[in-house]
């Protein structure tokens, strides 16, 4: 009579055939763990540019991915490769990099069709991680947003790559996700610039009572937090960390601070939320046809949504990240805008 033998449990399938993250050899050359070479996507954007300049200052050798050569600059230790995050032409430039920071993505709501946004965010992120895996990058930092999952097109789009990469992190992908709140500061040419300009020109209006909480994170604080993550990789790997202040300000408080520094009257107009939701829906529809509009449903939601932000895990691992006083940060931002004749 034959004895029954216990069937050995099958090991989980490795979804990353180019590399087993416990260190087994793959087809690409192993990265020298002493390397100070780092690859940054979105290197010419608001966050990317500030991050690259800080990394260079800290002694890193940076390879930046850019689409437009006109937006690049020359600096010692900085090398450029050109391409779209969705193609593979730039992948070989990742060879030899110890760390990859994925900072590219969709920022803003206007004139970008839904399918294109999804392609950039999800397909682009998958492509970036494929390059990192193929060339044995030891550590990945992905910059997403604290507003992923918010009931906006922007939030839903950001949720797609977030869920995808978090699933891979559970399968040994050596990554950390950073979710910053509303980032502002010198160099920002996006949505927060429009707020500063609207206040300066007397065109800013509150939706509802204006007491909605706003979580502003100064650009230098975000970059400093990212450097801390680099220096605490073992503690941060596998985690999703939210960066931002512990307490929020209201739109009324922020608008008054901006007006005070710009030397203009503080905004006083309050528009009914229901009316603005209808107008926002019309703006959203028009924007999907590529038409420029002043605001969309996303804008209304962002200006009125009450969200609870939790930075406890990031603060526990890294210390307080948001250290810049809001009034000081706004003053420094306006000084840069005025220097460049933007307000």
**Burial zone of 289 (CB within 10 Å; 0-12 exposed, 13-18 middle, 19+ buried):** exposed
Alpha carbon of residue 172 to chain centroid: 22
Q: Determine the Cα–Cα distance for residues 117 and 153; give it in Å rounded to an integer.
A: 10
For 97-133, how does the pLDDT look when each residue is reduced to its tens digit (9 = 90+)?
Answer: 999 999 998 875 556 777 888 899 999 999 999 999 9
Dihedral angle, C-alpha 255, 260, 265, 268, nearest 10 °: 30
Query: Which pLDDT value is given to residue 18?
Result: 39
Return the DSSP state at 267: P
Strands 270-271 and 206-207: parallel
Return the DSSP state at 120: I
Q: Supply φ then ψ for residue 288, to 5 degrees.
A: -70, -20
Q: Which residues contact residue 7 at a Cβ distance below 8 angstroms, ignoring those fewer than 6 apart?
A: none
- Residues 106, 117 contacting (CB under 8 angstroms): yes
Query: Which pLDDT value is given to residue 114?
Result: 77
pTM attached to this predicted model: 0.87
Stretches where the chain sits below pLDDT 50 are: 1-28, 31
Q: Determine the Cα–Cα distance for residues 210 and 223; give it in Å rounded to an integer.
A: 29
Query: Which pLDDT value is given to residue 11?
Result: 38
Query: Which pLDDT value is given to residue 30?
Result: 53
């Amino acid at each position: 009579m034959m004895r029954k033998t216990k069937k050995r449990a099958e090991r989980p399938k490795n979804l990353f055939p180019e590399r087993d993250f416990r260190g087994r050899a793959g087809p690409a050359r192993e990265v020298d763990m002493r390397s100070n070479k780092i690859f940054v996507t979105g290197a010419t954007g608001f966050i990317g540019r500030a991050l690259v300049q800080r990394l260079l200052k800290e002694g890193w050798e940076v390879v930046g991915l850019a689409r437009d050569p006109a937006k690049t600059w020359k600096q010692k230790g900085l090398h450029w490769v050109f391409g779209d995050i969705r193609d593979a032409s730039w992948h070989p430039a990742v060879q030899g990099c110890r760390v990859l920071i994925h900072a590219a993505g969709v920022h803003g709501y206007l004139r970008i069709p839904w399918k294109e946004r999804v392609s950039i965010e999800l397909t682009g992120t998958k492509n970036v991680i494929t390059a990192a895996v193929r060339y044995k990058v030891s550590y990945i930092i992905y910059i997403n947003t604290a507003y992923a999952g918010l009931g906006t097109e922007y939030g839903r789009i950001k949720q797609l790559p977030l869920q995808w990469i978090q699933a891979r992190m559970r399968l040994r992908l050596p990554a950390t996700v950073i979710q910053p709140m509303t980032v502002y500061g010198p160099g920002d040419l996006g949505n927060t610039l429009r707020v500063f300009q609207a206040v300066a020109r007397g065109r800013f209006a509150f939706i509802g009572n204006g007491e909605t909480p706003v979580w502003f994170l100064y650009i230098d604080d975000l970059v400093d937090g990212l450097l801390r993550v680099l220096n605490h990789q073992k503690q941060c790997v596998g985690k999703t960390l939210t960066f931002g202040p512990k307490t929020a300000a209201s739109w009324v408080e922020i608008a008054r601070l901006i007006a005070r520094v710009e030397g203009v009257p503080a905004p006083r107009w309050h528009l009914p939320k229901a009316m603005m939701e209808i107008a926002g829906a019309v703006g959203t529809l028009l924007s999907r046809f590529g038409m420029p509009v002043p605001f969309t449903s996303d804008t209304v939601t962002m200006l009125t949504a009450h969200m609870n932000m939790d930075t406890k895990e990031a603060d526990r691992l890294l210390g307080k990240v948001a250290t810049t006083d809001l009034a000081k940060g706004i003053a420094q931002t306006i000084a840069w805008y005025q220097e460049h004749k933007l307000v």
